[in-house]
Amino acid sequence: MQTFAHGAARWEVACPRQPSRVAGVSMAGFRIHDLDALRVVPHPAVTLLLDFGDGSPVLDCAPGRQQRGSLVAGPGLGSGGAVRARGENVACVQVRLSPVIARAVLGVSPADLDGAVVPLDDLWGREASRIRERLTGLPSWRDRFALTDALLARRHAAGPPVDPEVAWAWHRIVAGHGLARVDALAAEVGWSRKRLWSRFRAQLGVPPKRAGKLVRFDHAAHRLVAGEAAARVAADTGYADQSHLHRDLMELTGSTPTTVAAEPFLAVDDLAWPGRGTPAVL
């Protein structure tokens, strides 16, 4: 367990000692006594949040719309900067799932989430409550990670895989930091652009171009957090110019590069996700 300090924020952060047995899974544990309106920054992965203990996280998704407790969200959660997380005595295991394995683990395609935040109870029924009870009763993060990993491995083994062509295209997008062209990807797998777009969207929840945009944004945003100048980041990450980077950040986060560089949601990644990267499956 480590302590993350960022301005007024003080979080306890835990990381598994070993990687998941399932390729494309990464996880971290959080315990936050007072989570105050944290802006959720979009990420290319599918998010699975397993809460436990006395508190409960609250996601304010839009005026009058809230989600409490364990939940699932597709790639790009928080786009537009409208989603805030808050709560007292929050304790949770946050899992980042590569979209390539998300359908097998969740039991539904990320496309079925339709960009919304879905309570885990709606997907897994009573199993979601049993997981919460078991996580609450465990004495250590090591035990919680082991339970979560066993659960994900079991569900992944029983679930349907995506098309290998779709998985390959996703890998190429991640490996290229979002700069791979859709036409080139389609040619590599021997499909038409329309077929790749359709299968990719249906199985991973986002079309290829949107996936590339999220991956490129994630790469650029973390370089901003590391203190690099916006002009340099724009030039190195494939944006036409600094104005192009600014427009993408405003679209995805509702914030300027300076504000994004100071977001706790991004700054905690160095502790929570060592060796950080967008989850991919070869």
- What's residue 274's pLDDT? 81
Supply the pTM of this predicted model.
0.93
Report whether pLDDT(278) > 90: no
Predicted pLDDT at 279: 65
Q: Does the pLDDT value for residue 253 go beyond 70?
A: yes
Q: What is the pLDDT of residue 7?
A: 76
What average pLDDT score do residues 41-70 get? 89
pLDDT tens digits for range 183-234: 999 999 999 999 999 999 999 999 999 999 999 999 999 999 999 999 999 9
CA distances to 26, 73, 149, 243 from 88, rounded to whole Å, are 25, 21, 26, 39
Q: Rounded distance, CA 93 to CA 47, Å? A: 11
- What is the rounded average pLDDT of the residues 231-255? 95
Whose structure tokens read 């250590």? 140
Q: What is the CATH number of domain 2-158?
A: 2.60.120.10
How far apart CA 46 and CA 100 sit, in angstroms, is 10
**DSSP readout, 140-157?**
SHHHHHHHHHHHHHHHHH
- Please give the mean pLDDT across all residues of the chain: 92
Tell me how far apart the alpha carbons of residues 19 and 152 are, in angstroms, rounded to a whole number: 13
- For the chain, residues classed under CATH 2.60.120.10 are 2-158
Q: Which of 242, 180, 191, 184 shows the shortest CA–CA distance to 213?
A: 180
Q: Could you give the CA distance from residue 11 to residue 99 in angstroms, rounded to a whole number? A: 28
pLDDT band at 132 (very low <50, low <70, confident <90, very high): very high
Task: Sort strands 71-73 and 9-14 into parallel, antiparallel or unpaired.
Answer: unpaired
- How would you class 17 by CB atoms within 10 Å of its CB: exposed for 0-12, middle for 13-18, buried for 19 or more? exposed
Distances (CA, A) of 30 to 15, 76, 131, 217, 273: 9, 21, 17, 24, 12
From-to residues of CATH 1.10.10.60 in the chain:
164-272
Pick the residue with more confidence: 62 or 111?
111
Encoded amino acid at 262, one letter: A
281 pLDDT exceeds 60?
no
- In words, the CATH class of domain 164-272 is mainly alpha
